[in-house]
Amino acid sequence: MKKGKGCEGKAPGMRVRGHPVLGEPPGGREITVFLDGKPLPAREGEPLAAALFASGIRVAHYAAEGREPRGPFCMIGRCTECRMVLEGKGMVLTCLTPAEEGMRLHTPGRRGKP
Amino acid sequence: MKLRRESHPLVVVGAGPAGLCAALEAAEAGLPPLVLDEGSRGGGQLVKQIHRFFGSREHGAGKRGFQIAEELVSGCLGKGVEIRLGHKVLGFFPDGRLLVDGDEGVFVLQPGATILATGAVEKSFPFPGWTLPGVMGAGAAQTLVNQHRVMPGKRALMVGAGNVGLIVAYQLLQAGVEVAGVIEVNRAVGGYAVHAGRLRREGVPILLRHRLRAAEGKKEVESVLVEDMERGTWKRFSVDTLCLAVGMAPQAELAAMRGCRLVYLSELGGFLPWHDRAMRTDRPGVYVAGDLAGVEEASVAMDEGRLAGLAAALDAGVLDPGEAAERMEEVMDRLELLRGGPFGEPRRKAKERLCSMTGLVTGGAGRKAGIRGRTGRR
């Protein structure tokens, strides 16, 4: 794996900073998870979907035989649109699954991939 | 496979404002319940509410939702309520047992009585491009910015100028997301003027008589097509996020599975379990409260929760009927006030219609319902 080129960088700065009511976010430990083999920064304990949004990644899986990208719709575990494959667990709802160091996520349903 | 079994005199499903207030009341009456919630934090949707609440002291007026949530959770814990987070209720069988999935595995829970406070789910509707990533419920955007502290996108368009649409649009601005506008098919703003005023002062246009036509983009939302219904012209908004605030529906699956009779009332969000004024359903030992019992607001949910908690304690024989009646009257009077005014009136009338639907209900529950404040044990 090449070093230095992770998933972040497409849309840096998607974390909320200097909020007028909430102030600075609580500082969870910075960890690394992997998306389709590439490192992705995350805060320990935040839902995996939040870590993806923080890096500007909004496609969770592909439906309709790979033709339709889908992404989180409800963020509270109802719509199932945020589902992804987590190694060792199978299909999970990323909006409810807390991020842990070293987790390996995969985008299911992409054309040509399982 | 043999499943582990557990039992509890009173189980509350949902740790939102309704469930926690129900738990508080029941605990105060001497029946501390077990509260189950699938989320990782108690307080339900209150945890992402950062605006100051209206209403009276009993409803936490002047406080922000997440502060009310913290108070309710610590209040419950102080009174011996057990709150199990990360617990999903998979089923509610006609014989009254619950199937629960938690960190201890899947187990069967036999409750003495059950209070369902499962809340509501955001509605959606189909339109071209509605499955594109970047299209989401307004509540999802609110969860992202206020709870998880990340932005759903850089520039958003809000559909629906009710309170949810107006409040979330403003909260997106507070989080640093650009808001291109709020569109609304009706001729007037549906939410409170104070929320609309805040947006207008920030220069966000609220476009009345504008209809959503399509979300466009290859892999994600890149633009949104909107029709000006008066002129018949179309506009294209260059946004990466489309938020839908087009109403909510009660989450009645568990109630339906248990066999509770459902009633359709559009003013209250759709199908909901029939219930009497003390929040009893037509199934013995099953109570409902909050958005499940009709989509209203958090203050209403709290008071309905208190009613359900009192009714459960009364029916279990741990609360003196005289005291229960007195406390219920007090809460019912407050609910009457909350449902006053032009916004509350349709909901108040719908609730009245619901409680007068005696013919639908088998047994004595329906007849009891017509009598205001009737709190006799069944």
pLDDT of residue B356: 85
Q: What is the pLDDT of residue B55?
A: 66
pLDDT at B371: 34
Within B36-107, residue ranges assigned H as helices are 65-78
Give the residue-averaged pLDDT of B345-350. Answer: 93
> Are A75 and B136 within 8 A, CB to CB?
yes
Please report residues of B whose CB lies closer than 8 A to that of A11.
154
Give the pLDDT score at A7.
47
**pLDDT band, very low/low/confident/very high, at B243 (cuts 50, 70, 90):** very high
Residue A14 placed within a domain: no
Q: What percent of chain B has pLDDT over 70?
A: 93
In a domain, A25, yes or no: no
pTM higher than the cut 0.90: no
- The predicted structure's pLDDT at residue B313: 98
pLDDT single digits (tens) B169-194 = 999 999 999 999 999 999 999 998 99
DSSP B191-214: S-HHHHHHHHHTT--EEETEEEEE
On whether any CB of chain B is under 8 Å from the CB of A44, the answer is no
Average pLDDT (B159-177) is 97
A34 neighbors A105 (Cβ within 8 angstroms): yes
Task: Report the alpha-carbon distance of residue B147 to residue B47 in Å, rounded.
Answer: 7
Q: Decide if A69 and B64 are in contact by the 8 Å CB cutoff.
A: no
**Residues spanned by the domain of A55:** 30-106
> Which residue among A22, A70, A77 places its CB closest to the CB of B133?
A70
Say how far residue B147 (Cα) sits from the centre of its chain: 17
What b/e sequence results for B144-177 when a residue is b if at least 16 CB atoms lie within 10 Å of its CB, and e otherwise? bbbbbbbbbbebbbbbbbbbbbbbbbbbbbbbbb
Q: How many domains does chain A have?
A: 1
The answer to whether residue A15 is domain-embedded is no
Q: Is A67 on the interface with B (CB under 8 A)?
A: no
Higher pLDDT, B220 or B373: B220
Question: For residue B148, what is the nearest residue in chain A, using CA coordinates?
Answer: A50
pLDDT tens, N- to C-terminus, chain A (114 residues): 333 444 444 456 899 998 998 888 877 899 999 999 999 999 999 999 999 999 999 999 999 989 999 999 999 888 999 999 999 999 999 999 999 999 999 999 987 654
| Distance from C-alpha of B248 to C-alpha of B122, rounded to nearest angstrom | 4
Task: Using an 8 Å CB-CB cutoff, list chain B residues near A77.
Answer: 38-39
pLDDT of B358: 65
Would you state the pLDDT for residue A8? 44
Q: Beta strands A30-35 and A104-106: pairing type? A: parallel
**Which value does ipTM take for this structure?**
0.90
A27 touching B (Cβ < 8 Å): no
What burial letters (b/e) apply to B215-236, b meaning 16+ CB within 10 Å? bebeebbbbbbbbeeeeeeeee
Under DSSP, is residue B368 helix (H, G, I), strand (E, B) or coil?
Answer: helix
For chain A, give percent helix, strand, coil, nearest 5.
Answer: 5, 30, 65
**Does residue A4 sit within a domain?**
no
Chain B residues in contact with A110 by the CB 8 A cut-off are none
Q: Which two tokens stand for residue B70?
A: 């913290």
A21 found inside a domain: no
In a domain, A75, yes or no: yes
The predicted pLDDT at position A12 comes to 60
**Domain of A91: which CATH number?**
3.10.20.440
Contact (CB<8Å) A75/B144? yes
- Does some domain include residue A7? no
Cβ pairs A/B, distance under 8 A: 93
Cross-chain Cβ contact A59/B38 below 8 Å? no
